[in-house]
Amino acid sequence: MDRLLLLVIVAAAASVVAALVQRRGPDAPVRTGWTVPDQLDRADFARPEVPWLVAVFTSATCQSCAAVLERARPLESSEVAVVEVEVGTDAVVHERYQIDAVPLVVIADAAGVTRAHHLGPVSATHLWGSLAEVREPGSTPEGCGNH
């Protein structure tokens, strides 16, 4: 009789554990990409009155960020603001736009709409081509927009 009672208790305990395991929610989704903002508030950046913004999100500890910023700087003009947004200096801006990977270059229009972006190291040619294409669609030779 004692064995039967022990068997019933073990079976009940196993049933409770099985029910708890089944009720557990699904696993968290696997991350498949990085956050790129769809829209920027131009007031968060220098020279909000110019038609185009090239925001370069960086980190002082990022080895490729300095090179990307140097490639972006020559894009500066009377119609294009190039702004570095370094996480140590501008952490609030990084948090606001949920920037979770650098270097990130965002090209935004006068309304702050992201028109192009580059995540990771990027060549000067690709930066110039992206800016040219958003400013004047069709200006980039066919096939260049796929890189």
pLDDT band at 4 (very low <50, low <70, confident <90, very high): confident
- Report whether pLDDT(20) > 70: no
Torsional class of 21: left (φ above 0), alpha (ψ -120 to 50), beta (otherwise): alpha
pLDDT digits (tens, 9 = 90+) for 77-127: 999 999 999 999 999 999 999 999 999 999 999 999 999 999 999 999 999
User: What pLDDT is recorded for position 27?
Assistant: 66
pLDDT band (50, 70, 90) for residue 17:
confident
DSSP 8-state class, residue 131: H
